[in-house]
A and B are shown apart, each in its own frame.
Chain A
């Protein structure tokens, strides 16, 4: 699965202002609502669901990145967006360090395989140190889109 196939460009935030987890998640969900990728009616429910998943086990897997996500019946198509913080977000990451790149993923509830495919596409890119470093330095939506495109080009064909 390619990141560009599922990314919601209009919801990318190149300069997250929030510095703590719950506020950052709310900002990214709001961006998805504003981009038309999520119904405003579902905003609060999704914020709650993403935070609930974080409490069960942080998706701040270390190296300054987090991959919060939610599976929900109202989602018909995989969607992902990116929030970049230049100051760092306190995300309760497993390595206790702040995160600078947050990939938020929305998955249909009835497609567990697709969900894991998408997660693997994200993980594959995020495990590259150069990708993480460039992401953290990105200042515009276009720069982030270029990095995602390059990551897709490097990804092994699945």
Chain B
């Protein structure tokens, strides 16, 4: 069963989605069977949530709102795991 779900979350860590957080995000996204797309709420451009490079190119700084969307059998679980990860601020100050 394929389904789509999405959620908006605000980047919480001071340094934003730089290399380390982008890697953690892509790694978590890659566990999902669903396709994961991410965009900044102020832009239309979608990027692949499973790509570290594309996540870094989003240049999401602290306070940026991003929308995470997943389509596939584990869409809901994937989005909730990614939302929790972004909310964790990647455990950075």
Contacts and interface: CB of A to CB of B under 8 A. Distances in A.
A39 interface: no
B44 interface: no
A127 B91 contact: yes
A57 B89 contact: no
Given A56-B78, A127-B13, A61 B88 contact: yes
Give the interface size class of chain B: 20 to 34
24 contacts: A53-B81, A55-B31, A56-B32, A56-B74, A57-B31, A57-B81, A57-B85, A59-B84, A61-B24, A61-B85, A62-B20, A62-B24, A62-B90, A65-B91, A67-B88, A94-B23, A94-B27, A95-B20, A95-B24, A116-B84, A123-B12, A123-B89, A127-B13, A127-B89
Contacts of B90: 61-62
Interface in A20-53: 53
Contact of A123 (B20, B82, B88): B88
B87 interface: yes
Interface of A: 53, 55-59, 61-63, 65, 67, 94-95, 116, 119-120, 123, 126-129
Nearest to B23: A94
A119 B85 CA distance: 10
B64 interface: no
B24 A56 contact: no
Given A67-B88, A94-B27, 16 more contacts: A53-B81, A56-B74, A56-B77, A57-B32, A58-B28, A61-B90, A62-B24, A94-B28, A119-B84, A119-B88, A123-B87, A123-B88, A126-B88, A127-B88, A127-B91, A129-B93
Contacts of A126: 88, 91
